[in-house]
Structure 1
Amino acid sequence: MNSDRKQVLVTGASSGIGRATVLHLSASGMRVFAACRRAEDGAALQDASATPERLTPVILDVTRQETIDACRAFIATESGGRLDAIVNNAGVGTSTPMEVVPLETVRAAFEVNVFGQLAVIQAFLPLLPRGSGRIINLGSVGAHITIPFGGVLCGSKAAFEAFSDALRMELRPLGIHVSIIQPGSIKTPAVDKTLGSVEEAISQWPEAGRARYGALFRRFSARARARETGGSEPDIVARTIHLALTAPQPQTRYPTGKDARMLTLVPRILPDRTLDFLRQKMLGLPTQFDVPREPP
């Protein structure tokens, strides 16, 4: 799959990895449909692109079926009924103790990270050509190495990877490749959305939750924010996506970015208790069982 004249849809294109991917793929010669929820984000992408003639902004919210349907109809017309690849990048994250996270927050995360991804795949898969179409799904190292306070994000990414594995096997007889990108620590605006305001988050928990987790969550958030802000630039993920789109025989999984390979490898070789110790230590949390906790 060469870059020249290929037509690709990228969701979640307004910032971070999605933005870097849209700009990189269009510069490589592909025609890119950049899916954003707001028209002004699409206009900003075109302004930033060195090849705006190969970048077409489209409105798409993965949680709203009517926008998916309208986007599909538009792309089917504009592309001549053929889309060479789908890059499913849209996603949300949150960090909260499992004991106090509102169930509506969990449902909202899965709505974007799992159900919305499947809705896009179901809508656009018929446009992919047999024998050469590709689907690139943005997973996470967190699908394989869950961290404290990251159960919602890691759980939804693990579910999406399971969906992707099933899809890969189902589409094999049709000659359509499915690859999963597994970013490690990547420096994007998403870290602020995922970690948010620590004190504001703690203030919304029940009193018992603040007493149990307040000090631990502050410590975790400081370590996690430092790791992410010290991570790789989004361009490294964009280049990996380009590789997955153009390799004659793409890999099923592409760990990419800072610590990605290590974080996907160690869960396969270390016992759970050893891995728990390392995760707790890495995030500045107590490593012994039943350690007295600091006041919230």
Structure 2
Amino acid sequence: MKQGATATKSVVITGASSGIGRATAIRLAGNGWRVFATVRENADGEALIAAARGALEAVVLDVRDRESIAAAAREVEARLAGRGLDGLFNNAGIGIVAPVECTPPEALRELYEINLFGQIGVTAAFLPLVRKANGRIVNMGSVGDHIAPPFAGAISSSKAAFASMSQALRLELRTQGICVCLIEPGSINTPAIEKPLGGVEKTIAALPADAAALYGEPMRRMAKTFTANERAGSPPEAVAKVVERALTDRNPATRYLVGKDAAKLVILARFLPEKFLDIAILKKFGLSPQFGKPANAASVSLPSPGRSPETFG
């Protein structure tokens, strides 16, 4: 950011209707930032404005829709009236809880459209405004960049891909004076944590009988353990505080870990031999680490087209 500026700093936050995005929007608005909080529905924007006591501005944006992204960028540019954008926080995202072999391609494509392609599209659309202010880009990653839990392959792989894109972008923009930071939360207690637990039964019900027999009980255990871990995690306000640091630190880090278990998980991923890491992950999620062929596991058929696992975000 330009040093010595006295004008109000501005930031665009995607996925601001709930959870981390909402907490970040309210925090930054309360600390004097001009916040453009993006939501998919006008009603969500009105609720967010009310929660922030009118201290922020809502912008409708659907990261899956290129025209929606372009329209939002034009709207923010017009509101800034010639000024640049000091920060962009790419936060929008969804998740899928499902076995890899039973995740329909169309569901995986939608997840990647939101978690990866949409973030790239938003970045490209707002980058001219960020460049104008020598601003910063903060991307929402996850400790799932480093560890892929069972039944979370879709979201973990998308986050790993986004982390790689974030690194490349950071190097590409370095000589332009634009910092790019990645936030990597561990367990965070947000409203989204209830969705895997509530949605897992729908996902299991949509599986063919043989797949449900193989994966049903392990999925229930994983969802239950995951939800318990998240409930015991840090509040979204803890992430919001770190996002503000990433936007304002004089010498920002390339990655910021946040959450009670984030550092521990990343250290395990980096230094524990992979075979031992596999065992640790399975035990963490209440699953058996024993290697062997399950009974009646000759083959598993994929779900029929149009039957997608439950998503959360």
TM-score class, shorter-chain normalisation, is: over 0.9
Which residue does 1:26 correspond to in 2? 29
Match of 2:40 among 30, 37, 40: 37
| Displacement of 1:132 | 2.9
5 Å matches for 1:7-86?
7-50=10-53, 52-53=54-55, 55-81=56-82, 82-86=84-88
| Displacement of 1:192 | 2.9
**For the structure 1 residues 112 and 190, does the alpha-carbon distance in structure 2 shift closer, same or farther, using more than 3 Å as the test?**
same
Q: Distance in 2 between matches of 1:156 and 1:179?
A: 17
| Displacement of 1:214 | 1.1
Residues 244, 251 of structure 1: 8 Å contact kept: yes
CA RMSD of aligned residues (A): 1.8
TM-score by length of 1: 0.95
Which residue does 1:135 correspond to in 2? 137
| Displacement of 1:238 | 0.2
Which residue does 2:178 correspond to in 1? 176
Give the 3-state SS of the residue equivalent to 1:117 in structure 2. helix
Which residue does 2:215 correspond to in 1? 213
Paired residue type of 2:46: A
Which residue does 1:106 correspond to in 2? 108
Residues 85, 132 of structure 2: 8 Å contact kept: no
Residues 141, 159 of structure 2: 8 Å contact kept: yes
Match of 1:258 among 257, 260, 280: 260
* 1:3-44 residue CA offsets vs partner (Å, 9 max, x unmatched): 960010000000000000000001111100000001111111
| Displacement of 1:198 | 2.1
Which residue does 1:193 correspond to in 2? 195
TM-score by length of 2: 0.90
* 1:150-196 residue CA offsets vs partner (Å, 9 max, x unmatched): 10010000000000000000000100000000011001122233444
**For the structure 1 residues 131 and 70, does the alpha-carbon distance in structure 2 shift closer, same or farther, using more than 3 Å as the test?**
closer
Residue correspondences, number:
293
Q: Distance in 2 between matches of 1:24 and 1:131?
A: 21
| Displacement of 1:230 | 1.6
Residues 100, 206 of structure 1: 8 Å contact kept: no
5 Å matches for 1:208-247?
208-247=210-249
Q: Where does the alignment leave 5 or more consecutive residues of structure 1 unmatched?
A: none
